[in-house]
Structure 1
């Protein structure tokens, strides 16, 4: 098995039982861990080092941190978690599952990494994020996060006034087009096998959005490797500097089957994520989810806020469990079955 080098200094995985394991070291996971560590909880973040926004040059739409490179936000986040005693461990989760409860009846989970190391925890916060699934068009993925973008709020200002193409993937692309039209007067909508009714075509015409119904065959580059446009199946090349694509979003679920977390689908085949309730609670006792593994539209700020809420909720229930155990011990009651 190939060994992947950690992009940062990894902490030692602790022995014994910790209060919480956070699976995922992005904004949601780190902020959840921060809330727990500041409450003097023993917490370990398991981080694969592959955040969704890694290709992006900067995070936008997040007050104070607008324009900050994603890697810098994560670097500072890891250090802040460590400042309060939390640990951040580089690794891939191979399995996570509930095990026999402790003597006092409290929950226990075992999280095992791909290299065989494992840790036992009382609670689990899943913050694995998601993967963007792009259309299978030659040359598209090479420009992902730069000239191929998905979010007008994350990248829109940076591509304003450029010749932009909307590469349609389904009904969601219609709204996508209207949002990007706010950013440029030169917008072309490539239907690429999707349908547009006459009302939508009239609305696009009213906003001077050009429609191309011939499917896209491949991406065309300039000599320096930058995006030049798209080649259609009839051979025509349409010059574009930027392509916007509404990707299909899939929550990262690798290694988590043992937790038996329910999933939910977005309309129009736009994506699939973990189902969750208030504060990230799930149907699996002792397991929470936060960030865009469950809220597929969440940006960095929303993901961080969700992680904080989940972390606070976990701490609150742990405090109740600690008190229940202390009371039982004080009253000389036998351990819960």
Structure 2
């Protein structure tokens, strides 16, 4: 580190905790820490995973609230307890001599903190099918508990891209009697699976999907999926399409801190994506760094991510209490020796 960089680090604002990510997990953690009378800075890149969804669901007392509205309310609550915010991406973070961390934003600004809570979320890597990505979070879906009720009783297609396809189709059958499994690039179902699908009235469509067909005009707000086009040219009616995205952690801060990343496996052993390895309370193998939300658990819903943020925050505060106590004891002992 150059002399100029050292001076910049020394002059950077200091906080008890810097929260990297302003989604549900980050805001819940910041709120808990603010109420614990800790100084908190939330760095938010402004790219929540559920930004394209019309509403958040299964969040008690807030079911159906648009994601942006939910986050705005959370930010106001955090600010009410003294929490501070800065817009931007943390491009690097490092431990510093004497304890604590220094974070660097894309703008070049820096800040210091005694502890870090990383809630930078994940990226959904979608199947490469024309027309699909633009419908993500609207009528291209992956979680029935988040959006199943909104497409109930419609013609639902399940795009198989891996071993989870059959399981997805059977699950989504709970919300509609008209479910089709498009084999696409997924494996052929076993005889037992074919029997299960037939028993539940789920049709199986062979061949790869070449395109998602859209009707209506986005400017009028009436655009929607109308069908799935197969490579051979056949169009199968469809009003909602279920996919299995690959989940991957995001945020340059993860690499700069050297956090351990591992594959997240489904019940059948297939890898769903990557996540940061952490203890149940969010503690990582890097002392002083906690994680919460989708960066730690790709399957966490909004309510689950919120709970994870609260849990991690309570652990962080207790860790700081222990450090504060050690320092107070050291000061007391030095005073007694001087006397």
- TM superposition score normalised by structure 1: 0.91
Which residue does 1:31 correspond to in 2? 28
Residue correspondence of structure 1 range 49-64 to structure 2 within 5 A = 49-64=46-61
Which residue does 2:91 correspond to in 1? 94
**1:223 deviation in Å?**
4.0
**1:254 deviation in Å?**
2.2
Residue correspondence of structure 1 range 74-223 to structure 2 within 5 A = 74-101=71-98, 107-195=99-187, 196-223=189-216
Q: Among 264, 273, 276, which residue is 2:275 paired with? A: 273
Distance across 2 between alignment mates of 1:137 and 1:218: 6
Gaps of 5+ in 1: 1-13, 102-106
- Secondary structure in 2 aligned to 1:169? coil
Asked if 1 retains the 8 angstrom alpha-carbon contact of 2:24 and 2:305, the reply is yes
Asked if 1 retains the 8 angstrom alpha-carbon contact of 2:165 and 2:186, the reply is no
Distance across 1 between alignment mates of 2:286 and 2:257: 7
Question: CA distance change for structure 1 residues 43 and 162 in 2, over 3 Å: closer, same or farther?
Answer: same
Moved over 6 A (4+): none
Which residue does 2:240 correspond to in 1? 242
Distance across 2 between alignment mates of 1:193 and 1:175: 15
Deviations 1:23-58 (A, max 9, x none): 000000000011111111001000001000000111
- Secondary structure in 1 aligned to 2:305? helix
Asked if 2 retains the 8 angstrom alpha-carbon contact of 1:60 and 1:154, the reply is yes
**1:15 deviation in Å?**
4.1
Distance across 1 between alignment mates of 2:272 and 2:311: 26
Asked if 2 retains the 8 angstrom alpha-carbon contact of 1:163 and 1:186, the reply is yes
Which residue does 2:297 correspond to in 1? 295
Which residue does 1:284 correspond to in 2? 286
Pairwise CA RMSD: 1.2
Matched residue count: 315
Deviations 1:167-209 (A, max 9, x none): 1121122221111101111110011121111111111011110
Distance across 1 between alignment mates of 2:216 and 2:256: 49
Gaps of 5+ in 2: 1-10, 218-222
Deviations 1:112-162 (A, max 9, x none): 000000100000000011111100001101111111011000000000000
Which residue does 1:6 correspond to in 2? none
Which residue does 1:70 correspond to in 2? 67
Asked if 1 retains the 8 angstrom alpha-carbon contact of 2:90 and 2:251, the reply is no
Distance across 2 between alignment mates of 1:98 and 1:256: 13
Comparing 157-166 with 270-279, greater Cα deviation is found at 270-279
Asked if 1 retains the 8 angstrom alpha-carbon contact of 2:18 and 2:113, the reply is yes
- Secondary structure in 2 aligned to 1:61? coil
Asked if 1 retains the 8 angstrom alpha-carbon contact of 2:183 and 2:205, the reply is yes
- TM superposition score normalised by structure 2: 0.91
- Secondary structure in 2 aligned to 1:95? strand
